[in-house]
Amino acid sequence: MKDTIEPHVTEDGRQIGGVLMEMKNITLRFGGVVAIKDISFDIREGEIRAIIGPNGAGKSSMLNVISGFYHPQEGEVWYRGAPRPPMKPYEVARQGVGRTFQNIALFEGMTVLDNVMTGRLTHMHASIWDQALWWGKAEAEEVHNREQVEKIIDFLEIQAIRKTPVGRLPYGLKKRVELARALAAEPSLLLLDEPMAGMNVEEKEDMSRFILDVNDEFGTTIALIEHDMGVVMDLSDRVVVMDYGKKIGDGTPDEVRSSQDVIDAYLGVPHE
Ligand SMILES: Nc1ncnc2c1ncn2[C@@H]1O[C@H](COP(=O)(O)OP(=O)(O)O)[C@@H](O)[C@H]1O
Ligand SMILES: [Mg+2]
């Protein structure tokens, strides 16, 4: 398997560019548990990169390293061609890395619109005084924030529920609202932790289409964790396969699907 690729145009006409993020020899331990063992891989501009592997393989931990929630004991995270110093999650978000969570993390009592608005927080710069007095900068910022949020709400087709409290929505729509909130921050790199877990077939098809559209329309680079191999095959340009904290495969969906190591550890055995 080739684990690096050159910039190219995909069969469906999307541009895959240079390396946006690179994980170099990452090791992450929790006490005696080694969640990630010396893993290296890159994510290219414009790419949809999947991370697969059995439960406990270290996939969520890897996304948490990328988003600054966890700090690896060894290795380096490179972003836009430079090593990234240890950062807080909000600093990573300001650099253009957005995310959704494996377990939905929305404000259940707030409306869809207000939840999506919270996604703009990383872009709010006006001071309390500006906001209180409603002067120039704050007003311009507020208008721009509203426009962005409305654009995302239209794009993800959730206009009809914009005033509905999130707590009243079915699961599939909550996941879509979470995607909307992440997109409201206009991320360059979007991390999705099992965006389709627990969904029925129709909801999965909708979410797959939205992920492809986001990538295509906004040029957002996407790294996602997903169990459904059909979805992985349909969506992703390249796949990293993890097992017990180690990388056991890296390549195109076809390459990893036919790799004996991957079949033995993951594809050949039942999993959810
Ligand atoms: N915050 C944490 N504290 C202690 N152990 C953790 C923590 N997060 C993850 N782990 C452990 O790291 C390993 C990998 O977990 P995780 O990254 O959630 O796997 P996956 O997402 O592939 O199912 C597991 O053994 C898990 O128990
Ligand atoms: Mg996980």
pLDDT in tens, 230-240: 899 899 999 99
Centre of ligand 1 from the C-alpha of residue 56, in Å: 6
Q: What is the pLDDT of residues 8-33, one digit of tens each?
A: 888 888 889 899 999 999 999 999 99
Ligand 1 atom showing the smallest separation from residue 102 Cα: 21
Q: Give the per-residue pLDDT at 1.
A: 62
Q: Give the per-residue pLDDT at 10.
A: 86
pLDDT at 183 over 90: yes
96 sits in the region (left: phi over 0; alpha: psi -120 to 50; else beta) called left
Average pLDDT, the chain: 90
Q: Which of 23, 36, 61, 70 to mutate to test the pocket of ligand 1 (most atoms within 8 A of CB)?
A: 61
Ligand 1 atom showing the smallest separation from residue 242 Cα: 22
Q: Do residues 228 and 204 make contact, with C-beta atoms less than 8 angstroms apart?
A: yes
Average pLDDT rounded to a whole number, residues 190-216? 94
Ligand positioned closest to the Cα atom of 102: 2
Average pLDDT rounded to a whole number, residues 74-94? 95
Q: Any idea where the domains of the chain sit in the sequence?
A: 1-96+187-272, 108-180
Greatest Cα pair distance in the chain: 65
Q: Give the per-residue pLDDT at 87.
A: 93
Q: pTM surpassing 0.95?
A: no
Q: What is the pLDDT of residues 133-167, one digit of tens each?
A: 555 666 777 888 889 999 999 999 999 999 999 99
Q: Give the per-residue pLDDT at 132.
A: 59
3-state SS assignment for residue 23: strand
Q: Give the per-residue pLDDT at 14.
A: 87
Between 136-145, 163-172, 209-218, the lowest mean confidence (pLDDT) is in 136-145
Ligand 1 atom showing the smallest separation from residue 28 Cα: 12
Average pLDDT rounded to a whole number, residues 163-188? 95
Ligand 1 touching residue 129 (CB < 6 A):
no
Ligand 1 touching residue 57 (CB < 6 A):
yes
What does 218-246 look like in DSSP terms, one character per residue? H--EEEEE---HHHHHHH-SEEEEEETTE
Q: Give the per-residue pLDDT at 137.
A: 65
The dotted CATH code for 1-96+187-272 is 3.40.50.300
Average pLDDT rounded to a whole number, residues 102-110? 86
pLDDT at 125 over 70: no
For the record, the structure tokens of 230 come out as 């059909």
Q: Give the per-residue pLDDT at 222.
A: 98
Q: Give the per-residue pLDDT at 134.
A: 58
Centre of ligand 2 from the C-alpha of residue 192, in Å: 11
